[in-house]
Structure 1
Amino acid sequence: MDKKTAPTKLSKKDAERETRLKAALKANMAKRKAQARARADKET
């Protein structure tokens, strides 16, 4: 099994990509939580 580790040195381009991905993931998780809450409210 591969062990995931944080990269130690990122180029500027990679760091920007990492930041974008992190922001997109956060937004996606917030959207999915909102959808789950809406579904839960609709069922009860």
Structure 2
Amino acid sequence: MEVAESHEIIVAKHRNGPVGTVNLHYDNRYSKFGNIVKNSQQC
């Protein structure tokens, strides 16, 4: 299993909304960023 890469994206300027940071994961298989899914159940 591959280790998920986590990246922090900084939104420094937004015309009609808040600024801040967003944590995303990068899927190298598809060269795609996506939301981080947090499981509420832990094994």
Higher strand share: 2
TM-score, with structure 2 as normaliser = 0.20
TM (norm. structure 1) is 0.20
More helix as a share of residues: 1
Q: Which has the higher contact order (CA 8 A, sep 6+)?
A: 2
Asked which structure has the greater CA Rg, the reply is 1
